[in-house]
Structure 1
Amino acid sequence: MPRLALYTFGVLKSPLADPAPLTHEFYDIGEAVYREISRHPGYLAHAETAGGDRGSHFEADWGAWGEFTVPAWYDKGRTVDTTALAATLSLWTDLRPALDALYTGLHRTALNRRYDWFERTGHPGYVFWWISDDVTPTWQDGVSRLEHLHDHGPAPHAFTFHHAFTPEGRPREGKP
C-alpha cells in the first residue's frame, strides 16, 4: 500500500542558536507538536537524528533518511551557530490524516504564529508525494520535490493539499 511522504521547509528569522525568547518559544512548541502529531492516527514516522541534536542538521546522522540538504534558495548558515531553518520529513497513511494532524491542535496553534518565526520567502513551505511501502524518503527527495513544485506547480510528482493527486497519479476529487 502506498504511503504519503511530506517534506516541510521554512527559513527562520533568526538562527536556531539565538538565545532570544522567540527562538525558545519555537523550540518549546515544536517539541510539543512532534509529541502530539506522533500519536495521531495515520502518522507513521518522521526523520530524526541518531543523536537527537538540536541545530546540527547538516552534521547529523539521519540514518535511512539520508544526508540533510536544503533547497537552493536557502542562503543562511549551515553551522550549529548559524543555521536558521526548520525542516521536517514524515510519512503518513493518506492525506486526510495528515490534514487533520497539521490543521488541528498544537500544530494549528503554531501555524497561526508562523510569521513570528519564519520569513516570507515566496517559495512553497511543504510538498507531498506518494512512495511505495518499502521506501524511506530522503531529505534530497524532499528538496527536489519542493523545488519541482515551486518551478512547475502541482503534479503527481509533487503536490499540495489544495492540488492533490491519488497514488495512481490522478487528480484527487474534492477536499482530502
Structure 2
Amino acid sequence: MPRLALYTFGVLKSPLTDPGPLTREFYASGEAIYGNISRHPGYLAHAEAADGDRGGLFDADWGAWGEFAVPTWYGKGRTVETTALAATLSLWTDLRPAFDAVYTGLHREALNRRYDWFERTGHPNHVFWWVSDDPTPTWQDGVSRLEELHDHGSTPDAFTFHQSFTPDGTPTGPAMSTQP
C-alpha cells in the first residue's frame, strides 16, 4: 500500500543556538508537538538521527533517511552555531491523518505563531508525495520535491494539502481520504 511522505522546511529568524527567548520557546514547543504527532492515527515514522544527535543536522547520521539536505535557496549557515532552519521528513498512511495532525492541537497553536520564529521566504514550506512500501524517502527526495513544487506548482509528484492527489494521480481536495 502506498505511503505518504511529507517534507517541511522553514528558515528560522535566528540560529538554532540563539539563547534568546523565541528560540528557546520554539525548541520547548517542539518536544511536545513531536510527541503528540507521533501518537496521531495515521502517523508511521519520521527522520531521526541514528545517533540521537539533534545539534548537527548536516553532520548527523540519518540512516535510511539519507544525508541531510536543504533547498538551494537556503542561504544561512550550515554549522552547529549558524544553522537557522527547521526541517522534518515523515511518513503517513494518508492525507487526512496528516492534515488532522498539522491543523489541530499543539501543532496548530505553533502554526499560529510561525511568523514569530520563521522568515517569510516566498517558497513553499511543505510538500507531499506518494512512496511505495519499500523505500524510505530521503532528505534529498524532500528537497527535490519541494523545489519541484516551487517551480511547477502542485503535481502528482509534489503537492500540498490544498492541491493534493491520490496515489494514482487523481486530483483530490484537502483533507480528503485518498485511500480506497
TM-score range, shorter chain: over 0.9
Query: Alignment partner of 2:171: what SS?
Result: coil
- Per the alignment, residue 74 of structure 1 pairs with 74
State TM-score, norm by structure 2.
Answer: 0.96
In 2, the alpha carbon distance for the partners of 1:134 and 1:74 equals 30
Structure 2 stretches lacking a partner, 5+ long: none
CA offsets per residue over residues 99-134 of structure 1, 9 Å max, x none? 000100110011000000000000000000000011
In 1, the alpha carbon distance for the partners of 2:174 and 2:46 equals 27
Q: Which amino acid aligns with 1:87?
A: A
CA offsets per residue over residues 63-98 of structure 1, 9 Å max, x none? 000000000000000000000000000000000000
- Per the alignment, residue 31 of structure 1 pairs with 31
CA offsets per residue over residues 15-71 of structure 1, 9 Å max, x none? 000011111100010111000000000000000002222331000000000000000
In 1, the alpha carbon distance for the partners of 2:100 and 2:134 equals 25
In 2, the alpha carbon distance for the partners of 1:57 and 1:175 equals 31
In 2, the alpha carbon distance for the partners of 1:105 and 1:173 equals 22
User: How far apart are 1:174 and its partner, in Å?
Assistant: 6.3
- Per the alignment, residue 148 of structure 1 pairs with 148
Mapping of 1:48-59 within 5 angstroms? Answer: 48-59=48-59
Q: Which amino acid aligns with 1:60?
A: A
Mapping of 1:26-175 within 5 angstroms? Answer: 26-173=26-173, 175=175
Q: Which amino acid aligns with 2:161?
A: F
State TM-score, norm by structure 1.
Answer: 0.98
In 2, the alpha carbon distance for the partners of 1:76 and 1:105 equals 31
**1:102–1:174 CA distance, 2 compared to 1 (3 A):** closer
**1:90–1:24 CA distance, 2 compared to 1 (3 A):** same
Structure 1 stretches lacking a partner, 5+ long: none
Q: Which amino acid aligns with 1:24?
A: R
Identity %: 79
CA offsets per residue over residues 123-175 of structure 1, 9 Å max, x none? 00000000001110000000000000000000000000110000001111565
- Is the CA contact 1:163–1:171 (under 8 Å) kept in the aligned structure 2? yes
Return 47-56 or 132-141, whichever deviates more.
Answer: 47-56
Q: Which amino acid aligns with 2:151?
A: D
Q: Which amino acid aligns with 2:95?
A: L
